[in-house]
Structure 1
Amino acid sequence: MAQSFGQTEINWDKLDKTRFYVVGAGLFTGVSVALYPISVVKTRLQVATKDAVERSVFSVVKGLLKTDGVPGLYRGFGTVITGAIPARIIFLSTLETTKVAAFRMLEPFRLSETTQAAIANGVAGMTSSIFAQSVFVPIDVVSQKLMVQGYSGHAQYSGGLDVARKVLRSDGIRGLYRGFGLSVMTYSPSSAVWWASYGSSQRVIWRFLGHDTKYDEHTPSLQKIMLVQAMGGIIAGASSSCITTPLDTIKTRLQVMGHENKMSIKQVAKDLINEDGWKGFYRGFGPRFFSMSAWGTSMILTYEYLKRVCAKDE
């Protein structure tokens, strides 16, 4: 199982699981606090109508700060954090266990290390994303409605519970899972591309830096390991955002619509084309690109640091 990278990677069976989940909850909450405003801006840009005044990153940020101050950049944050902890536990547990199983299954095929890493990480990323969506989609629906409330004609709410109550009253439990299929179609390939790019790019970068299969003789320094991991996160975020932004734009629009304005995927796509042409599918691409690259880099450095902190003493 890609043993040449054994000194830079910590496997699932080497982790103290309790410490991993408790410390991880705190670390990832901190990362979310730092990057959440980007999600708010991205979501608002994606749902903006043709007549909306605020249709640029600057104007959206300025409008939020003018009406609500800094708290405006954190609309829906409490809801996201509440749901993110169980979703993150499901995601990371599935990711690590599936990755180990995938590497074992690929061993008989004698693939190159880079290919093996890309496939195993990609399969693990897709599988973990599918499992996590069962928790994350309802949180996504509620938080996005809070993010866009009062913007471009969207309804106002008193909080996350108010959103959930009104959605359940109008659409039942299906309302909280609106866009679930599209979320799976968006986030599962996105997660697969992200983790495949991350796993394979690290190995390419290590070889470029002159490290081959003889890690046992020359262990990279911690600073070099973190630099390679950060570069891998940037490459993975860039690759993923380019591929999945169109689906994310359609999904976001579907999830924030009110009961009286329900539309099909086809209708949403036609509206985007009528308003902005094909570039309408890439509404909010700048913030999404930055968000996925910044989140990816921050997340992977946090994640790898978390694994080092939670590694069992030999």
Structure 2
Amino acid sequence: MDTAGIQKHSFGQTEINWDKLHKTKFYVVGAGIFSGITVGLYPMSVVKTRMQVASHDAVERNALSVIKGLLKTDGIPGLYKGFGTVVIGAIPTRIIFLTALETTKLTALKMLVPFKLSEPTQAAVANGVAGLMASFCSQAVFVPVDVVSQKLMVQGYSGHATYTGGVDVVRKVVKSEGIRGLYRGFWLSVLTYSPSSAVWWATYGASQRVIWRFLDDGNAAPTEGKILLVQAAGGISAGATSTCVTTPLDTIKTRLQVTGHDKRPTTKQVVRSLIADDGWIGFYRGFGPRFFTMSAYGTSMILAYEYLNKKCSKYHNEFPPVLGGMLGPFT
């Protein structure tokens, strides 16, 4: 077997490089798998967004009350406000993200070889740079989708406008603000998601390898179950770290993106409002749902990607279980 596209790791396991995947199969099968995961975790995004934009006197200000309120007024569909927009926009966003992620990671790993870094450090740097670049490249598509979906998530809540659907949101935003309205909060989004992606990937890459060092007994290769547990632990660690670092920026960004044009605040005004309402803790509104979403979403994506990566490899029948992990949160 040609091993040019295989990257060796401890326990004799391997990671499958980008140039050794069947790209068409990867994108088609991946679209189905990742969309299925999104269906299960999407409600937490709706809850998180509503908590972040709630006014000071809003009755529903914690996760449980928001869920109860949505179910009471809209039933189960209320937990999926804006879902159609997200699913449609996710396809091009993920293609851009994945392509930038994999190609950047491969390039970064090659550039780091002369520095002779330890494996955890090398993984942290390469994964962090790849995550940063992938998120930055995908923002051009992601931000308009984010603006539209979040307006749908909070419509009719805490004084926010109502819409008939995603097309109606786009029409009204463009009419009042032009195309720029769909990119409201663009640089704040970049400052939120790019570092979040970098931190997520750096933490995941390093923590996974540190865990393996503790588990390495020098004997037989680990079972597939142990590999999955290590990947899940790495995903949870990455989710916790990136959530703590970036939630304040995410709260500010969300408020900027969902506020109507007639009363659009500045970033400084949003910051002052949050501090006036809740003090510094206000920047962490929606922290619980966001932590759950990032940890569960990232871990699920990692495990799904490992399966997908193996199935779409040109060496499908020759590969042992994949040790690495190359796909976490998409933004």
Residues 50-69 of structure 1 mapped to structure 2, 5 A cutoff: 50-69=56-75
Q: Does 1:207 align with 2:213?
A: yes
Opposite residue 161 of structure 1, the aligned amino acid is V
- RMSD over aligned Cα atoms: 1.3
SS in 1 for 2:147: helix
The equivalent residue for 1:225 is 227
Cα distance in 2 for residues equivalent to 1:197 and 1:71: 35
The equivalent residue for 1:42 is 48
The equivalent residue for 2:297 is 295
SS in 2 for 1:9: strand
Q: Is contact 1:120-1:196 (8 Å) kept?
A: yes
Unaligned regions of 5+ residues in structure 2, if any? Answer: 1-5, 319-331
Q: Is contact 2:8-2:15 (8 Å) kept?
A: no
Q: Does 1:236 align with 2:238?
A: yes
Q: Is contact 1:202-1:232 (8 Å) kept?
A: yes
Opposite residue 192 of structure 2, the aligned amino acid is T
Cα distance in 2 for residues equivalent to 1:43 and 1:261: 19
Cα distance in 2 for residues equivalent to 1:99 and 1:285: 29
Deviation readout 1:106-149 (Å, 9 max, x if unpaired): 00011111100000000000000001111000000000000000
1:246 to 248, 265, 288: 248
The equivalent residue for 1:75 is 81
The equivalent residue for 2:270 is 268
- The alignment covers a number of residue pairs equal to 310
SS in 1 for 2:161: coil
Opposite residue 310 of structure 2, the aligned amino acid is R
Deviation readout 1:245-300 (Å, 9 max, x if unpaired): 00000000000010001111111000000000000000000111111111111111
Opposite residue 4 of structure 1, the aligned amino acid is H
Q: Is contact 1:8-1:225 (8 Å) kept?
A: no
The equivalent residue for 2:8 is 3
Percent identity over the alignment is: 71
The equivalent residue for 2:126 is 120
Measure how far apart 1:2 and its partner are: 6.3
The equivalent residue for 1:157 is 163
Opposite residue 63 of structure 2, the aligned amino acid is V
Structure 1 segments of 4 or more deviating over 6 A?
none
Cα distance in 1 for residues equivalent to 2:14 and 2:106: 15
Shifted more, 299-308 versus 142-151: the winner is: 299-308
Shifted more, 150-159 versus 49-58: the winner is: 49-58
Cα distance in 1 for residues equivalent to 2:65 and 2:157: 12
Cα distance in 1 for residues equivalent to 2:298 and 2:185: 23
Cα distance in 2 for residues equivalent to 1:255 and 1:68: 23
SS in 2 for 1:150: coil
Cα distance in 2 for residues equivalent to 1:4 and 1:73: 42
Q: Compute the TM-score of the two structures, normalised by the length of structure 1.
A: 0.96
Opposite residue 283 of structure 1, the aligned amino acid is R
Measure how far apart 1:219 and its partner are: 2.5
Unaligned regions of 5+ residues in structure 1, if any? Answer: none
The equivalent residue for 2:196 is 190
